[in-house]
């Protein structure tokens, strides 16, 4: 079982899209084992995006990410990282294919403020989960319908 970190970014709640996106994750057979709503401060954003602090686009992303509530979550399942990256689509809106979360819900044609974050590796997932969740907040559960999802 693989664990990954996902975050629905500002605008998702305001646009009433959280349920649709969560439904896509569940329909893929992945389990949401932790979920909360929070508004981030700059310290947490900088910790989360530590490897990108020097990128020219970082200040725009930082301002965007603190502009409203986010929904961080932990998602588990076989190949969860790869599956979530495929569900999300290309990082930049102009590369996100229709049918993906970013392709369907991100606004504009060129915009670094896409609607969802997904960890890109097991190491990133582990680091990001620890930023947002204590281990006791993660509720792994056995799916009684395993094999049917």
From 48, 52, 117, 145, active-site residue: 117
User: Is 117 annotated as catalytic?
Assistant: yes
Residue with tokens 């629905």: 8
Report residue 21 as tokens: 């996106």
The 3-state DSSP composition of the chain as helix, strand, coil percent (nearest 5) reads 40, 15, 45
In 3D space, the residue among 147, 126, 145, 144 whose CA is nearest the CA of residue 135 turns out to be: 126
Cα separation, 44 vs 38, in Å, equals 11
Q: Which residues are catalytic?
A: 117
């Amino acid at each position: 079982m693989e664990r990954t970190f996902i975050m629905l970014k500002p605008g998702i709640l305001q646009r009433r899209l959280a349920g649709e996106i969560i439904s896509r994750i569940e329909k893929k057979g992945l389990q949401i084992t932790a979920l909360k709503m929070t508004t981030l401060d700059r310290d947490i954003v900088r910790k989360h995006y530590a490897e990108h602090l020097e990128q020219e686009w970082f200040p725009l992303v930082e301002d965007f990410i603190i502009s409203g509530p986010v929904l961080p979550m932990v998602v588990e399942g076989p190949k969860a990282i790869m599956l979530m990256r495929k569900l999300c689509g290309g990082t930049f809106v102009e590369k996100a294919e229709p049918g993906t979360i970013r392709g369907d819900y991100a606004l504009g044609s060129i915009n670094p403020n896409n609607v969802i974050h997904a960890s890109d590796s097991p190491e990133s997932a582990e680091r990001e989960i620890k930023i947002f969740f204590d281990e006791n907040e993660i509720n792994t559960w056995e799916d009684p319908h395993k094999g049917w999802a």
